[in-house]
Amino acid sequence: MTRVQRSILLSAAERYASVALFFVSTAILARLLSPREFGIYAVVNAITMVISVSAQEFGGANYLIQKETLSENNVRTAFTVTFSLSLVFAILLWQLGELFGGLYDIAGVAAGVKIAALGFLLSPFSATLIALRRRKLDFGVIAVSNLISNLANVTVSIALASRGYSYFGPLWGQFAGVAAQGACLAAWRQDFRIFLPSFVGHREVVHFGLYSFGVALINLAYGAAPQLLLARVLDFGAVGLYSRAVTLSQAFDRLVIQAVNPVIMPAIMSQTRAGENLKPIYLRAVSLLASLQWPFLLLIAVLAEPIVDLWLGPGWGGVAPLVRLYCVASLSLVGASLTYPVLVAAGGVRDALVSSLISLPPSLGVLAVASYFGVEAVAASALLTLPLQATVATYFIARRLHFGVRDLLVAVRASAVAALGSTLAAALGETAAQAAGLGAAGAILAGGLMAGIAWLAGLAALEHPLLASMKQAAMGLGRAVHRGGAGRLARHR
């Protein structure tokens, strides 16, 4: 098993455990909080997340990962810049809390923003420590710290919500998660000199950070815009339905993309330093992602109604139509997780910002208009905006890596055929289960099982490279387990 594969395995194990926690906690919270309460939480989260992540991107993780040689002064300066910005934003948000509350005419928004601002003071410590371990592809400690963070978040959120704290429960849960992760990472750190203030070489940090900050800010602002627009134009109930729909349609991101995402940039940077050609690496990665993401998204679209019924329970029926629209629109984003790392590795960090500036403002305009026609219109607008964003991003990548439309179509052709076959099988399975009166759980099981069989058969018939990658990873895992068992046996003897 290669170092990259081992890193992905550790990251995936943590991610799947965290996703299980997330879906269980969401199912519980959906029965403790109304769509309106979820909507208020989503608005507060949208306001603060944009600023929090942007501050960290300015001088933090990506700078530390991409730098070819890293000194202690580089780390200290990156941390100092990030912490300084986080402190400024925390104070600013605290002061502007009442303004946000007045904007949405909800007193709880102001208090929620202030709670979220507290986390700004802790997150730079965790972000710096995680970046250093990601750079070395050391994901064991990261996995443990993420699990502890998620456990703290879920425990506090559910405990407070069950005691009548409403949407303040998840907000305090987020703060508890940040604090728990920082404490966990600090316990593994022997040398804390990297947190001493320093501005040596700050110009380099700021220069890179300006582009990274710009990309993060515009993308996060665009992601938060639907919740903020719906809250102003419609109501918090619409925001609650929208946020749950997006959560379900992004299930693949939680299960797969977020598992491999921490590994993508350091892995690509290490291959670039070794002189590898990025074109075949990118096209193969897109092919592998398409073979997983497309069948998954289409399966969720087919099974949207029984999934929503089983997961969220009564009162959330309006989520299913939104999920279908977003899943279909998200098919175009198959290579989105690769865009920023590949452009940075190819020397095009500026292209990442330009790409966002070209595609996101018109997308935001479409969203703003759609919000006046209801939450379904906002979801339907994704059928236009997401393909636009994907097309612009792919253009900049293709220009850097020197490939054409035909190369991309050839790379994803087999994946598209396998996805189509699995979708038809899922629809047949769900229809048969519904006709037999098996209920939501039966429909999900039948549709998922038939889709899985059809998907594997399609990959085998098409000789898709994903099968070879899966076999290689399985053999590597088997050898690692065997070596571990042999080592324990030798020590016992």
Q: Which domain holds residue 321?
A: 234-462
Instruction: Please report, for residues 15, 258, 328, the alpha-carbon distance to residue 299 in angstroms, rounded to integers and kept in the order given.
Output: 21, 19, 10
Same domain, 164 and 259: no
Instruction: Using a cut of 0.85, tell me whether the model's pTM lies above it.
Output: no
DSSP characters for 17-51? Answer: HHHHHHHHHHHHHHHHS-HHHHHHHHHHHHHHHHH
Q: What is the pLDDT along the chain (493 residues), one digit of tens a residue?
A: 555 566 666 666 777 787 788 888 888 888 888 877 878 787 777 777 766 666 666 656 667 776 777 788 888 888 888 888 888 888 888 877 777 766 666 666 777 888 888 888 888 888 888 888 877 767 778 888 888 999 999 999 999 999 988 888 988 998 999 899 888 888 887 778 888 888 887 777 777 766 666 676 777 677 777 777 787 777 777 888 888 888 888 887 777 776 665 556 566 666 666 667 788 888 888 888 898 899 999 999 999 999 988 888 777 778 889 999 999 999 998 888 888 888 877 777 788 888 888 998 899 899 889 988 888 998 999 999 999 999 999 999 999 888 999 999 998 999 999 999 999 999 999 999 989 888 889 999 999 999 999 999 998 888 887 777 666 655 555 555 455 545 544 554 5
- 114-140 as b/e, with b when 16 or more CB fall inside 10 Å? bbbbbbbbbbbbbbbbbbbbbbebebe
Q: Are residues 190 and 217 in the same domain?
A: yes
Q: Are residue 198 and residue 240 in the same domain, yes or no?
A: no
Question: What DSSP state is assigned to residue 333?
Answer: G
Domain count for the chain: 2
472 within a domain of the structure (yes/no): no
Integer angstrom CA distances of residue 493 from 481, 487, 490: 18, 10, 5
Distance between CA 479 and CA 490 in Å, rounded?
A: 16
Measured between alpha carbons, how far is 486 from 432 in angstroms, rounded to an integer?
48
Q: 390 in a domain, yes or no? A: yes
pLDDT for 2 equals 56
Instruction: Examine residue 356 and state whether it is found in any structural domain, yes or no.
Output: yes
N-to-C CA span, the chain? 27
Contacts of 341 (CB under 8 A, 6+ apart): 264, 265, 268, 269
- Residue 141 counted as domain residue: yes
Residues 245 and 137 in one domain: no
Domain boundary among 209, 233, 257: 233
